[in-house]
A and B are shown apart, each in its own frame.
Chain A
Amino acid sequence: MIITNNEKVYDKYKDITNIIFIQGGFKDVLVKTRDKIHEGHELLTHPLSSSVKPNETPFKSVLISDEKASLNLNSLYIIENSIMTYDNFSKHKFSMMTDKITEDFKLIDLTVLESALNI
């Protein structure tokens, strides 16, 4: 299952996989991921994937298991640390982002996700 706020990822995968689209920012994706981990889903990709910093890109996609089991403590540890790291960064306003830059950030997020999907 993919959790994303990136339309490029959503449009490409919405018909072939479980996907949750978040109308919101990077942190909203992390928080939703944490909630799903609480429900018993397992984290499959690192939430801080890519070295593009969380205050530089507004887009994030995370892969979690479709299946639920008992709470995966390792997943919980990684997502909580990721949220804490996100909060360390000063917050960007993203006000001066052009359409080109927005599209490039979406593309980077998509390719990083696909590197995990082996596509």
Chain B
Amino acid sequence: MKLELGYIFIKDIQFAETSKVENGTLYVNKEEVKALILEDQNFKSADVELAKPGESVRIMPVKDVIEPRVKVEGPGGIFPGMVSKVETVGSGKTNVLKGAAVVTTGKIVGFQEGIIDMTGPGAEYTPFSQLNNLVLVCEPIDSLKQHEHEKALRFAGYKVAMYLGELAKNMTPDQVDTFETPTLVEGIKMYPELPRVAYVCMLQSQGLMHDTYVYGVDAKQTISTLIYPTEMMDGAIVSGNCVSACDKNTTYHHLNNPVVHDLFAEHGKTLNFVGVIITNENVYLADKERSSNWSAKLAEYLGVDGVIVSEEGFGNPDTDLIMNCKKIENKGIKTVLITDEYAGRDGTSQSLADADVRANAVVTGGNANEVIELPPMDKIIGHVEVADVIAGGFDGSLHADGSITAELQVITGATNEMGFNKLSAR
């Protein structure tokens, strides 16, 4: 399967009468976007704001970050099974508004999390401070239940991202990158001397606000399966996970999965990138056993020499991570794990809720318990009063001047377990 990703680099975002992309600027008709959101009768009002790199802006609480993309050639549309038909995606051509994003915010439940600071020390911790963001602030109707609110917000994000992506459909990209996965048999013939490597991508799947969708299916109702890495680039996997800001995988992460991109970069040079196994993280222990059995079985079936495993979330997914590690290692396949740490504020406590001697090659995305200070910003987009009850906040988090003292876990993407961030440890 072969996909050409065409990047159209976005250096600025502005409101305008007509939505369009011109000379690296994304112009957005605010009223059209608002009307699109309000097509959903679950919202009584909607506002749309801009947040650009370097501005004194704090966005909170962030639910999802989505990159605008559009299919130019090939079957299907972006986010299949969600807002496009269930067609197999991942081949042909896709254009990307690189440097732009749609950010959804909202108070779905009383305790909320997810901060993106566009400047200052907080901006250093999140990759989304570097993007030209269109931020959606949607108010639900009074009677809306949390489940419906979460879903409505999720779909508002996809629809607006699709709307922006469409602007790039007929544009000539600034840069084109090609990604191709041969069939298993062709791959073995092409690089017989190179180690065969697969990627096991773990997906959060535990219930309200903890879910991930694959072609529209709730991942907790799936068993581990195979997916072409380019399918992920077309939005086959989307995030409905609104909890644990620092180490959740937003839809942006799934579209731009750095493990996939790095494995493609090394494909044919130092390794043979065979494919991706996706597996869930359910709360029922028997589900964990079944899913990790399947990921190990698929790795064995693919005949790989090694796998990279990325986790999502904290606590009970540590058990899935270690089960995947142990069972795959027991097949004689080497594993490298990517996780993050909750090692206490001084970093000296045990980092994970599970461990095993076979987990001997582990990459960390950083310590989510580390305490950070975020200075006040001139403008808040979203709901500032949630700072005290934001995940990782604590009593007195929000100071009178608008500054925040909190654990690193409040920042969206700070310790991402795909490695889409700048933190690590040696």
B209 interface residue (CB < 8 Å to A): yes
Residue of B nearest to A87 (CB): B349
Residue of A nearest to B368 (CB): A53
Residue of A nearest to B390 (CB): A56
Contact A81 to B284, CB < 8 A, known contacts A96-B388, A98-B110, A115-B207: no
- B389-A46 in contact (CB<8A): no
Could you say which interface size class chain B belongs to? 35 or more
A31 interface residue (CB < 8 Å to B): no
- A114-B207 in contact (CB<8A): yes
**Residues 72-119 of A contacting B (Cβ, < 8 Å):** 78, 81-82, 84-85, 88-90, 92-93, 95-98, 100-105, 107-108, 111-116
**Residues 210-267 of B contacting A (Cβ, < 8 Å):** 210, 220, 241, 243-244, 248
- B283-A85 in contact (CB<8A): no
B141 interface residue (CB < 8 Å to A): no
Q: Which of B64-72, B77-85, B314-322 contacts A (4 or more CB under 8 A)?
A: B314-322
- A104-B283 in contact (CB<8A): no
A29 interface residue (CB < 8 Å to B): no
Q: Among A52, A90, A115, point to the contact of B283 (Cβ < 8 A).
A: A115
Q: Beta-carbon contacts of B183-214 to A below 8 Å, as 1s and 0s? A: 00000000000000000000011111110000
**Residues 286-300 of B contacting A (Cβ, < 8 Å):** 286-288
B144 interface residue (CB < 8 Å to A): no
Q: How far is the CB of B151 from chain A (nearest CB, A)?
A: 13
Q: How far is the CB of B222 from chain A (nearest CB, A)?
A: 13
- A44-B353 in contact (CB<8A): no
A48 interface residue (CB < 8 Å to B): yes
Tell me the complex Cα distance, A101–B342, Å: 24
Q: Among A43, A92, A95, A112, point to the contact of B208 (Cβ < 8 A).
A: A112
**DSSP majority for the B interface?**
loop
- B389-A116 in contact (CB<8A): no
- A115-B206 in contact (CB<8A): yes
Q: Among A44, A46, A85, point to the contact of B350 (Cβ < 8 A).
A: A85
Tell me the complex Cα distance, A43–B419, Å: 32
B282 interface residue (CB < 8 Å to A): yes
B142 interface residue (CB < 8 Å to A): no
In the assembled complex, which residues on chain B have CB atoms less than 8 Å from the CB atom of A45?
A: 283-285
- B210-A112 in contact (CB<8A): yes
- B285-A95 in contact (CB<8A): no
Residue of A nearest to B342 (CB): A88
B49 interface residue (CB < 8 Å to A): no
Tell me the complex Cα distance, A57–B210, Å: 15
B40 interface residue (CB < 8 Å to A): no
- A50-B283 in contact (CB<8A): yes
Pull 16 A–B residue pairs with CB atoms less than 8 Å apart, ordered by A. Answer: A46-B315, A46-B319, A49-B206, A50-B206, A55-B394, A56-B392, A78-B319, A89-B369, A90-B345, A96-B395, A107-B208, A108-B207, A111-B207, A113-B283, A115-B206, A115-B220
